[in-house]
Structure 1
Amino acid sequence: MPSFSESADVVICGGAAIGSSVAYHLAADPGFNGKVIVVEKDPTYRYSASALSAASIRQQFSSPVNIRISLHGIAFLRNIGAHLAVEGEVPSIDLHEGGYLYVASGEGASVLAANQKLQQAEGADIALYAAEMLRSKFSWLNVDDLACGTYGVSGEGWFDGWALLQAFRKKARALGVAYRQGEAARYILEGGRVVAVELADGSRIGCGAVVNAAGSHGARLAATAGVAIPVKPRKRYVFTFTCKGEVDNCPLLIDVSGAYCRPEGKRGSDGQMFICGASPSAEVDPDWDETAPDVEDVDWSFFEERVWPALAHRVPAFEAIRPGRAWAGPYDMNLLDGNAILGPAAGLPNLYLANGFSGHGLQQSPAVGRGLAEHILHGRYRTLDLADLGHERIVSGRPLTEANII
């Protein structure tokens, strides 16, 4: 390895949930005694998707690899103390297994039923309910135009994403991982490998292997090594509102329109708070401005014209609400197929990609961190094969179809 002012066996570019999970899993591997450096440009994580997302976990995907990733994820979250406790202190991530509820009209019923059959075959606890069963279980739900719904009886819900990020980071540091504040600007190549990461201040960190977990900066960083990934940072809004009407035991509801909502916190004297949002149509999907990020730059017309009407139709109690605060955040969208791009970059075997999670990064961070650590240390995935999400499918233009992108 060439001489640099600092070097490590593994340099991880990006220290949010994905990067810190990789760091933790590397350092926790009993066969690894090397040095890991995580480069993070903003240790406050103010603009990180890990801190700004709706922080949920589900097995209701249509591809086996995504289902398996989230099955590992929920097992990890349930037993977080066994993994991420530091000096006997167990992280509190407020995991609430309230379930996901996908609903479908007649034209979408067959897809939902096929997905549920696959999910059950993979071991996920997902039930398929006809419209009348939905009405019975969720009396507040308008089912007049629905054919069926799928419900996560267990293993799905939401949690404190900020707390999970901090827990990964704290445990990684306790295991000897070093964190450096700085922006990874470009990769230095020599002999068909990445030999160093150059930071924005011009300093260089030598590396044996490097992980690109740079979030909204990931595609531009990969391009400095000649690696093209179809990832664009999009802007997503999260809105809050309070409803006084009775909407008891509400899961994370995914409407046929694509709008979603879930409870947030306990019901108070003013009613129950909810968070909600939706993905805009592709032709009006706004970019996240990485050069001047602004979490307060929210388009309230999107809530008033797209989100609220859809939710009020599905849950009549939502016709009378009090809007609350809202925020914007980045959504690193894989434009090819909406799935993560994981593993060695084609043609650069020591550059590992962890990009384009398309809103699934937090829930996938336990399995992705474990998988990439295994591949870096042992040359292959040993517990869960993530090859279906590899870079080769991007190079060859073979999308991994996933029907359940929110």
Structure 2
Amino acid sequence: MSSKVVIVGGGVIGSSIAYFLRLSDPTVGVTVIERDPTYARSSSALSAASIRQQFSTPLSIQMSLFGIEFLRSIGERLEVDGTRPSIDLHEGGYLFLATAAGESTLRENHALQKRLGADISLLDASGLKSRFPWLNTDDLVAGAYGESGEGWFDGYGLVQALRKKALALGARYVAADVTAVQRDGKRVTQVRAANGETYACDVVVNAAGAWSRRVAQMVGIDLPVYARRRSIFNVSSPARLERCPLLIDPSGVYFRPEGNAYICGTSPAADRDPDDLPLDEVDHALFDDVIWPTLAHRVPQFEALRVQNCWSGYYEYNVLDQNAIIGYHPDVDNCIFANGFSGHGLQQGPATGRGISELILHGRYTTLDLASLSFARVLDNRPIVEKNVV
């Protein structure tokens, strides 16, 4: 008898899992329960949609190396009925900047990234000024720039392409909210949805993003993942910045091109970052007090900025270490978690989908070993330290 897999959440993570499962074994029954098929409030659609290899942990670098390979070949991989999707991938690079205080960390990270095959250049202040003459380098000593393999893309396009391909491969999508999970001892036996239907399962996967904590509670599991709001601002400027990458200021403020304009943002201070803030509100004070002054300092031409549009989306924020939690829970034999990506879900989605499909079908990872991201580190309070959190 073929197994039945129920995936809670149909964003990039859930749809990637569905795609890889059906691609690898068409006999597996896959049901994806997604509360909002328009993805209007989905993190997949509301994020800044970017990909980088500039992390400080080997596994994150390796996951994103596969991520860029996947995105580059998306037309071929996710073709349906002769139509090849496009996600408008721009490999414009990330540019991480460092003052004297951050130079040693930047150099350590760069050495690791290069060793694992990432195409990153390390530039001193004069090199930065030569490559990016519009940049104020007075307080900078170095920068790390992604020559290829880093950039940005259409996040909504990616989730739609994955969903359509998963459907074409035979996955079933249900538009409903999950209201209950039935657990019998160490196993989940069925998932109940707001449409009144119940879905029996051999394996259940929690890929509910910013709402994953609520789903975990239905299983009787305490998941340290919370919805943290992030505001993004689309700004216009007369500035024309040649070869503009996605720039990360030492303060954490970022910006990148978006057509003829720019998008920008930053994480709020810890004391201004509570859980579950409403998505229909934007933190305008963060732009006025932090983002704009920082951008005007870093790029003098940005003194003249005008906000054209703004919105908020959720990070599914893992408060332990801001890294994903992937794999089975030791107390529930058939419950898999894929949560807590903390802003890295789009770029790590393909590697996660591939890995979880391997875990379900083979009982182990057969390509990239994701075991260090397991729930065990949460229970043992063993955080993974990532120095490049954005």
TM range, smaller chain: over 0.9
Deviation at 1:320, TM superposition (A): 1.1
Q: Which of 342, 367, 379 is equivalent to 2:363?
A: 379
Q: How does 1:205-216 map to 2 (within 5 A)?
A: 205-216=199-210
In structure 2, list runs of 5 or more residues that go unmatched: none
1:239 aligns with 2:233: yes
Instruction: Give 1:288 deviation, angstroms.
Output: 2.9
Contact 1:140 1:246 in 2 (8 A): no
AA paired with 2:354?
Answer: R
Spell out the pairing of 1:233-272 with structure 2 (5 A cutoff): 233-265=227-259, 272=260
Deviation at 1:245, TM superposition (A): 2.0
Once the two structures are superposed, what CA deviation does each residue of 1:71-114 show, in whole Å capped at 9, x if it has no partner? 00000001112210112211010000000000000010000000
> Paired residue for 1:22?
17
TM, length-normalised to structure 2:
0.98
CA-to-partner distance for each residue in 1:146-198, whole Å, 9 max, x for gaps?
Answer: 01000001000000000000000000000111101111123211141111112
The letter for the 1-side match of 2:283 is D
Q: Report the identity percentage.
A: 53
Task: Give the CA deviation at 1:8.
Answer: 6.6
Q: TM-score, normalised by structure 1?
A: 0.94
Partners of 1:204 and 1:176 lie apart in 2 by 19
Cross-structure match for 2:112: 118
Shift of 1:371: 0.5
Q: Tell me the distance in 1 between the aligned counterparts of 2:124 and 2:184.
A: 60
Identify the match of residue 288 of structure 1 among 262, 266, 276: 276
1:57 equivalent in alignment to 2:48: no
Spell out, residue by residue over 1:8-60, the C-alpha distance to the aligned partner (whole angstroms, 9 max, x if none). Answer: 7100000011100000000000x441211000111011100000000000000
Corresponding residue of 2:292: 308
Q: Deviations over 1:98-141 (max 9, x none)?
A: 00000000010000000000000111001111111000000000
Structure 1 segment 310-349 matched on structure 2, within 5 A:
310-349=294-333
Aligned runs of 1:97-116 on 2, under 5 Å? 97-116=91-110
Whole-Å separation in 1 of the counterparts to 2:333 and 2:367: 20
**Contact 2:98/2:106 (CA < 8 Å) preserved in 1?**
yes
Task: Give the secondary structure class of the aligned counterpart of 1:224.
Answer: helix
Give yes or no for the alignment of 1:152 onto 2:136.
Answer: no
Count the aligned residue pairs.
390
Give the RMSD, CA atoms, in angstroms: 1.3
Partner residue in 1 for 2:41: 47
> Would the aligned equivalents of 2:229 and 2:279 in 1 still touch at CA under 8 Å?
no
- 8 Å contact from structure 1 (residues 57, 157) kept in 2: yes
Letter in 1 for 2:114: Q
Instruction: Say which of 56, 66, 76 aligns to 1:72.
Output: 66
Cα deviation for residue 349 of structure 1 reads 2.3
Find the residue that maps to 1:42 and give its secondary structure.
coil
Match of 1:188 in 2: 182
C-alpha separation in 2, matches of 1:110 and 1:191: 50
Quick check: 1:276 aligned with 2:270? no
